[in-house]
Structure 1
Amino acid sequence: MTRHQKRFAAGRSEATVRTSVRSALAFLTAFGALAGAALVGAAPASGVESGTALAPGVTYKQFDVQGAKGVTHAHLLTVDLRNRHVRLGLLYPGAVAARATVSRMADAQGAVAGINGDFFDISESQHPGVEVTGSSDGPAIANGHVLKASVPDGQRFGPALPPGTTTRDVLGVGVDRRARLDRLTLAGSVGTPAGRLRLGGFNQFALPENSVGAFTSDWGSASRVRATCGTDTDRAAACSTDTYEVTVRRGRVVATSGTPGKGAIAVGTTVLVGRESGAQRLRKFFKGEPVTVTHRLVSATTRKAYSFALGGYPVLKGGQPLAGLDDRTGAVRTAVGIANGGKRLLLFALDGAPAYRKGLTIAEVADTLRALGSTDAFSLDGGGSTTLVARVSGSATVSVRNHPSGDAERPVPNGIGVFSTS
């Protein structure tokens, strides 16, 4: 047994309060209790006391939840954005097509705490010989900078999306320091003297059929072949045999290729990848031709710019769970709740220790976050990806607070970091 596990076991020997999600909702409704009071247990683990302040405006606690599959254990970071010393940001390893553990990204970026993020390209067993990119499904924004757009719904990894949701759905925090659920759509074009064509993708591991996608230095060095595999409705469909690639540097075509390439893309360079009719359009480009590429993410709900955003899918809106949420499949989960008009966030991660791996259903996650005071909630990648990290007093680095269900941290493409200037 590791030192981490021994500390956890010692904490588990204390009495816990095991309250069902349904009872918690009734308690909060009847008494207007502080968010989370009905669910909090007295089960400190890993040397961190329940309700410990990690920084001004940031607290960490643990509690048990009684789900349909049994008792599970939850870890919760509460972040108060009304505190000017606190901010949230995107954790990522410096490239879209790269992965790292949450603890490594948090330490590299100086976060005091964090959780894992979006679902991602974790396996390419359907396309032998095609490199796994590790890139996330949905849009991503870091420090106000757009890193990528979303893949087609049929190409995403992870469980089936609830009805009415899409890979374009995001959780984000605006420059107004308010968190919100939104939908970000790519708007972009490729212009030449002969005309303009619509940009179908931006730094994403899968392009829509018959489209042209743009890749920049933010993508990283991974192969761009995966972008031409699958279809809009079938991720496992064969890779396209009709592809073309054009490299644009300082506004002019400098190279062309009949197949997508790989390797780092220099700053100031854009690689255009086309499939099917998109490839046919790119074949008309010639070396030296002037080309302009524009791209931005358009919000469905606000004109406020985002300081950070990442993909997943909503499970709670306006205080009501989405219709059609799965209420049968229990699993280890990561999710985020939004409360107090977007000024308070609840970063929620279940424990993956063997005793708790039956976890919660997505419907139960929505109910739990509503019981904790959330009006909106967003599901992130779970299972072996679920990770919550936090610093303890006197430490310069974070440590993993939950037990990853794979017994070790899984490298992931992004996450949510909690940062403090205090």
Structure 2
Amino acid sequence: MDRAQAIAAIRFTMGRRPSDPAPADPAAWLDSQLAPGLPGPALPDGVPADLPAIFAAAAEDNQTSRAGMGRPHQRRILRGEADAAIGFAIASPDGFRERLVAFWANHFTVARGKVPYTVGHFVREAIRPHVTGRFDDMLVAVVRHPAMLAYLDNQGSIGPNSRAGQRMSRGLNENLAREILELHTVTPAAGYTQADVTAFAKVLTGWSVAPLREPFGFIFREAAHEPGPKTVMGRSWPEGQEGGLQLLAWLGRHEATHRHLATKLVRHFVADDPPPEAIAAIFGVLRDSGGDLGAASRALVRLPQAWATPLAKLRSPFDYVVAVLRAVEAPPEAAERAFGTLQLLGQPLWAARAPNGWPDVASEWAAPEALLRRVEWASGISARGAGRDAADLAEAVLGPLCRPETLRAAARAGSAREALTLVLTSPEFHRR
């Protein structure tokens, strides 16, 4: 495996499995993983895949909870979705696409503590199908999904002057509008004001969820919608659901949004301190393509900076766990244990502490205690895979990026388990 092949697997995908063929053309190999129609994770038997069945299970749990019997379906749905997602990341040959799914799911964070039934469906249906499509399409799918509407409290947001607002004590909730502007699209750099946030929240009134009847998902409740046109960021938007769709499309194609997305993508794929020239290149692709995320992903692969500085990024706990399990060629069933490991290592799946998601810089993950936990966990993995030759594994998953010092330390190790642990916990394995 040469340097370019190693960088392609380590930086752009979820890590190499030793049995993976080395691509003759790394850039073309990565491009092939952006093709439409590639498969996603299959849910275990008994885990509902569609919203009507998910909401029916939630209704049953509400009944059993009131009877003091807990919520038996909640854990089954959440763990089934989580194990399928982690298992697919461990086994998938399309690691670049899986990294993009994880990136965009973090950009549009929803947390399982608040929406346990629908978080997995959100990633499968609002994120995964759009990672190589247009950003504004993903934005609409995300905002209309029950998980996001519930996570940011928009399902009960009522226009003060709407029919419902005039007869109910509940009123406007600005959470969703604020986070779309601040985190998901233009950011404060675009110069929006608190008045814009309030007006945007009025645009989104009536965007709600119907969990107990058709359509079992997004519904526009006209009686809760604030009447009349609204002005957001200097533009007037019509009343009704159409005003919200027009505003989301405009925000999704805004140059400030493209610059924000370019910065985050370059930070994720190149360096914690993203090079301005790389940001400019990805920004230009997003601007000129109208927010085509597939085009932006192909452009990332062709950034000179992405290949010039390998191992510039510290792997997050999720990245590290998946990379280790791929390195030892663990089966997808290893996801069941990995779910708890992510909790131990400080990045529980779909459980970011705030709507801005998990951090994407080394300083947030490099605490000594956190790294020690990684070593302890990797030692246990090495015990179960102690028959593997550490030097062969290092060559297969790190190639020329493995330091001579690591190979010498592994050669002097007192046991095969210790040698394998040294490789899996080496500085270079912790980075991508």
Task: Answer whether TM exceeds 0.5 for this pair.
Answer: no
When normalised by structure 1's length, the TM-score is 0.31
When normalised by structure 2's length, the TM-score is 0.31
Asked which structure has the greater RCO (Cα within 8 Å, sep 6+), the reply is 1
